[in-house]
Amino acid sequence: MDFTLSVKQKQIRRMARQFAKAELAPIAKEIDEEGRFPWGAVEKMGSLNFFGMQAPRQYGGAETDSISYCLVIEEISRVCAGMGLAIAVHNSVVVYPLSQFGNDEQKAKFLPPLTAGEKVGAFCLTEPNAGSDALSIESTAILDGNSYVVNANKIFVTNGGVADTLIIFTSVKPGDVKRGFSAILVERGTPGFEVGLLENNCGMRANPVSSIVLTDCRVPKANLLGQEGDGFKIAMGALDTGRIGIAAQAVGIGQGALDVSLKYAKERIQFRVPLARHQAIQMMLADMGTMVEAARLLTLQAAHIKDQRGELSCPSAMAKLFAGRTASKVASMGVQIHGGYGYSKDYPIERYFRDARATEIYEGTNEIQQIVIARELLKREED
Ligand code: COS
């Protein structure tokens, strides 16, 4: 086993680290407080190709490997998780399924502005009555001539408030949702398309997570991704990849929480010495560092398996489950190290604490990851 990063992977990580330090660190607190999507920084991320990291070169992508992809998501999330989320979702569950399942016309039309970061992507699966139980969606797409008439109420849509190209999961057979489950590309501005309320989330506040409402929205038949009935497999395949991105994001949040806790422990004097001299604090820091490193290894292993085209569901679920729990635990320990100041909005650990929690919920809750993992383990036992 070789755990060494290649020269290119290290270069990409350095570039992402420098970008995050220079462009995101100065605004991370402010955009969280204001709930603002930072278009200036987004534009710069576009010019660094962060919006098309794994997409084919032919469509403006960088065709990086999945390890490099994770390193970038980690470095961005280490400083600003809301932006880590924006690019993880855009790359993993929009650009990736479009690259995999789109036909040549769809790829030529939709990919170049997405990979350039000129347009932002969103993945719309969740509905009020279909969260973990994704097959319970109620939205419909009825074929009428050369268009689908789509009616949908999608909620918790990451990037929803700013997205231009959205993959909407809906059913073309309202009486048989499973067989009719389909993925349709919808463009912002199509008559009947409406951005609903922004979610008032506790974390990731720089990301405009919103509902998306489609009312008798006429979408060209040519926007169907794959075939009618392929939608569930497209969604699940996208989430298998997406969960690696969320795991990388959680590693970044955990690392960021550790960074600020180390700094604080060296600065804060109690009992006449810096906190870092107290063994109780050292033990917490040691556990935090070990957990983050273990989460990173699981995440990079899942990324490696993806590049080897191995079976991805179980490794990506394990990485997301472990990394999400790690981010929450490490951020919580960081709050503890900061004491009363950790509970204050004046210190960044409070933001890490709020942001971390989401990684245990979106793109499949911990319990969904456990279902995916247990199914695989039990299958192996039967073999
Ligand atoms: N890749 C490709 N196909 C998959 C798949 C995957 N990872 N997982 C399941 N499928 C296929 C199955 O093979 C099955 O196909 P057939 O009907 O042809 O056999 C079909 O999809 C249905 O699968 P299954 O019976 O396992 O469906 P369940 O309803 O039991 O759901 C879970 C499975 C729970 C894993 C799924 O609903 C899930 O991941 N839910 C969470 C959704 C989620 O993450 N929501 C967050 C949205 S993004 S913020």
Q: What is the pLDDT along the chain (383 residues), one digit of tens a residue?
A: 889 999 999 999 999 999 999 999 999 999 999 999 999 999 999 999 999 999 999 999 999 999 999 999 999 999 999 999 999 999 999 999 999 999 999 999 999 999 999 999 999 999 999 999 999 999 999 999 999 999 999 999 999 999 999 999 999 998 999 999 999 999 999 999 999 999 999 999 999 999 999 999 999 999 999 999 999 999 999 999 999 999 999 999 999 999 999 999 999 999 999 999 999 999 999 999 999 999 999 999 999 999 999 999 999 999 999 999 999 999 999 999 999 999 999 999 999 999 999 999 999 999 999 999 999 999 986 65
Task: Provide residues with CB under 6 Å of ligand 1.
Answer: 125-126, 132, 134-135, 232-233, 236-237, 239-240, 313, 362-364, 368, 371-372
Q: Which amino acid is at 296?
A: R
Q: Specify the ligand 1 atom closest to the Cα of 125.
A: 47
Tell me the whole-structure pTM to 2 decimals: 0.96
DSSP track, 318-344: HHHHHHHHHHHHHHHHHHHHHGGGGGS
Domains and CATH numbers, the chain: 7-119 (1.10.540.10), 122-229 (2.40.110.10), 232-382 (1.20.140.10)
Q: Ligand 1 centroid vs 367 CA: distance in angstroms?
A: 14
- Per DSSP, which regions of 117-260 are E strands? 121-124, 140-144, 147-157, 165-171, 181-187, 193-198, 210-220, 224-225
Q: What is the pLDDT of residue 381?
A: 64
CB 27 within 8 A of CB 99: no
Distance 233 CA to ligand 1 centre (A): 7
Ligand 1 midpoint to CA 99 (Å): 20
Separation CA 84–CA 88 (nearest Å): 6
* pLDDT, position 161: 97
pLDDT of residue 2: 86
* Nearest Cα residue to atom 47 of ligand 1: 363
Predicted confidence at residue 380, as pLDDT, reads: 85
**DSSP per position, 214-242:** EEEEEEEGGGEESSTT-HHHHHHHHHHHH
Q: Which of 248, 293, 214 is nearest to 92 (CA)?
A: 248
For 155, the 3-state DSSP assignment is strand
Q: Is 105 a catalytic residue?
A: no
Please tell me the distance from the alpha carbon of residue 286 to that of residue 279, in angstroms, as a whole number: 10
Let me know: does 24 contact 187? Beta carbons within 8 Å.
Answer: no
CA-nearest residue, atom 30 of ligand 1: 133
Q: What sign results for the dihedral spanned by CA atoms 186, 189, 191, 196? A: positive
Q: Are strands 140-144 and 121-124 parallel, antiparallel or unpaired?
A: unpaired
Which of 129, 150, 124, 147 is closest to 139 using CA atoms?
150
Nearest CA-CA partner of 99 in 239, 234, 240: 234
Phi, psi of 190 (to 5 degrees): -60, 135
Taken as a whole, the chain contains a residue count of: 383
DSSP state of 295: H
Distance 116 CA to ligand 1 centre (A): 31
Identify the active-site residue in 34, 74, 363, 376.
363
